[in-house]
Amino acid sequence: MILLDTSVLIEMFRVKDKTATFFYRLSNNNSNFAISVVTHYEIFRGCNSVQDNFWTNFLKNIKVLPFDIISSNEAIKIYKFLKVRNQMIDLADLLIASTAVAHNSELATLNLKHFSNIPNLHILK
Checking if the pLDDT of 15 tops 90, the result is: yes
Pair 13, 118: CB distance under 8 Å: no
pLDDT at 50 over 90: no
Percent above pLDDT 90 for the chain:
92
**Domain with 92 in it: what CATH number?**
3.40.50.1010
Instruction: Give 5's DSSP letter.
Output: P
pLDDT tier at 60, thresholds 50, 70, 90 = very high
pLDDT range class, residue 49, cuts 50, 70, 90: confident
Nearest in space to 1 (alpha carbons), one of 94, 80, 103, 112: 103
Overall domain count for the chain: 1
Region of residue 104 (left: phi > 0; alpha: psi -120 to 50; beta: else): left
Q: What is the pLDDT of residue 98?
A: 98
Q: What is the reported pTM? A: 0.94
Q: Cα–Cα distance between 103 and 91 in angstroms, integer?
A: 18
Residue type for 107, please?
L
Q: Report the range of poorest mean pLDDT among 42-46, 68-72, 79-83.
A: 42-46
Structural domain that includes position 10 = 2-124
Give the sign of the dihedral formed by CA 25, CA 14, CA 64, CA 81: positive
Query: Quick one: which H or E segment has residue 51?
Result: helix 49-58
pLDDT tens figures, 74-125: 999 999 999 999 999 999 999 999 999 999 999 999 999 999 999 999 999 8
CA distances from 55 to 18, 46, 115 (A): 15, 12, 24
Query: What pLDDT is attached to residue 30?
Result: 86
Can you give the pLDDT at residue 33?
A: 97
